[in-house]
């Protein structure tokens, strides 16, 4: 088992190195001058040159990349070109909002996705199957920003049931302990703030979790259909196992590997999808912050945030690989 973990860890090194090159190249080769973006189009040439020298943009790209990697190795992700605050400090302030949104969206996607997939598999070619798969197809096809606007229009503007944007109402104040509003409100016994934070989470979580939910539903259905054809399922039925035992203990357990793969990939992609969701709902997370940095040509913020999101994605996939080994011992033996 140790050799399997070590092997998977070593494979992450070239992935991380490749990501740093890709992120650095894409940001620096994009059109536009960050110095002009910061100072404005009417800034004089001397001011622009001085700011470029201050930001290190007048050096060759390979020198900039060397400095960039050297700083990262020391845990220094630089300072924002606009606020002059440490990027890591600003990231830590905004990350809990994105993480809370992503976790709630994934819980929503897993519960509804797996539930719909299992129901479609055991009620194959029924009205439940067709309805579930049509809904899954619609969920995959709808862009996040469009779905977000539709949800805001119906549930916020027309019905007035849920807030339009933001993370918490102005009349509430939560003591920051973990940065997760749902947890912090419960820890401080602030139940009204908890319900308000939950109401603010519902629409963005649904918008962000709809695509993963649809993909999980389709994968669960196909995986369960394949498993339910196996001989050990017939044996379990012949032994007199209950319907619940056949479906969830013998069936779902053996169908989980491809489902876990999809869940792992979707969890990583939620941080990327949060960019559109947070912009649509004015959610104060790293997605909205990253969009602002792109408009302002804030290189340190763009590079560091993209790199950290990529690292999170790699960590999630590494955990999924470990779950493979626990679920199926044949994998670690091979």
Residue 212, token pair as written in the block: 């993963």
Count structural domains, the chain. Answer: 2
Residue 48, token pair as written in the block: 């622009």
d(CA 112, CA 137): 14
Asked whether residue 134 falls in the same domain as residue 248, the answer is yes
pTM: 0.79
Asked whether residue 62 falls in the same domain as residue 113, the answer is no
Asked whether residue 47 falls in the same domain as residue 98, the answer is no
Last residue of a domain, one of 73, 106, 121: 73
8 Å CB contact between 263 and 41: no
- The pLDDT assigned to 34 comes to 66
Asked whether residue 112 falls in the same domain as residue 61, the answer is no
Asked whether residue 163 falls in the same domain as residue 211, the answer is yes
How many other C-beta atoms can be found within 10 angstroms of the C-beta atom of residue 269?
18
Domain membership of residue 43 as a residue range = 2-73
Helix (H, G, I), strand (E, B) or coil at 332: helix
**CA angle 130–133–138, rounded 5-degree value:** 120
Helix (H, G, I), strand (E, B) or coil at 79: strand
Q: What is the mean pLDDT of each run of 10 residues along the chain (334 residues)?
A: 70 79 73 65 72 72 79 77 79 87 90 88 83 81 84 87 84 83 87 89 89 88 84 80 78 80 78 77 84 77 81 78 67 53
8 Å CB contact between 252 and 224: yes
8 Å CB contact between 296 and 38: yes
d(CA 73, CA 207): 37
Asked whether residue 41 falls in the same domain as residue 119, the answer is no
> What residues does 79 pair with on adjacent strands?
86
- The pLDDT assigned to 38 comes to 64
Does residue 86 lie in a domain region? no
Asked whether residue 69 falls in the same domain as residue 209, the answer is no
Q: How far is CA 113 from the centre of its chain?
A: 17
Asked whether residue 66 falls in the same domain as residue 201, the answer is no
Does residue 79 lie in a domain region? no
d(CA 93, CA 110): 27
């Amino acid at each position: 088992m140790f050799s399997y973990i070590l092997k998977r860890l070593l494979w992450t090194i070239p992935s991380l190195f490749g990501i740093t090159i890709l992120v650095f190249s894409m940001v620096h080769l994009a059109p536009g001058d960050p110095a002009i973006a910061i100072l404005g189009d009417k800034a004089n040439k001397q001011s622009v040159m001085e700011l470029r020298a201050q930001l290190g943009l007048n050096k060759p790209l390979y020198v900039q990349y060397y400095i960039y990697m050297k700083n990262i190795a020391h845990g220094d992700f630089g300072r924002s070109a606009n606020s002059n605050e440490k990027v890591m400090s600003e990231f830590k302030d905004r990350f809990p909002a994105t993480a809370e949104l992503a976790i709630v969206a994934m819980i929503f996607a897993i519960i509804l996705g797996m539930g719909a997939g299992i129901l479609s598999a055991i009620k194959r070619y029924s009205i439940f199957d067709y309805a579930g798969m049509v809904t899954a197809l619609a969920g995959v096809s709808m862009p996040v920003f469009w779905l977000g606007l539709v949800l805001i229009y119906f549930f916020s503007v027309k019905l007035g049931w849920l807030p339009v944007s933001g993370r918490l109402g102005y009349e509430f104040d939560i003591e920051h302990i973990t940065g997760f509003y749902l947890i912090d409100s419960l820890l401080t016994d602030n139940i009204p703030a908890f319900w308000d934070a939950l109401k603010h989470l519902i629409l963005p979580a649904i918008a962000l979790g709809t695509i993963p939910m649809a993909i999980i539903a389709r994968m669960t259905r196909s995986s369960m259909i394949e498993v339910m054809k196996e001989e050990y399922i017939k044996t379990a039925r012949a032994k007199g196992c209950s319907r619940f035992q056949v479906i969830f203990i013998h069936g779902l357990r053996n169908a989980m590997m491809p489902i876990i793969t999809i869940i792992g990939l979707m969890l990583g992609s939620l941080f990327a999808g949060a960019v559109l969701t947070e912009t649509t709902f004015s959610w104060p997370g790293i997605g909205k912050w990253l969009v602002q940095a792109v408009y302002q040509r804030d290189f340190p913020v763009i590079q560091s945030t993209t790199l950290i999101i990529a690292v999170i994605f790699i960590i999630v996939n590494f955990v999924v690989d470990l779950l493979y080994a626990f679920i199926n011992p044949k994998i670690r033996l091979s």
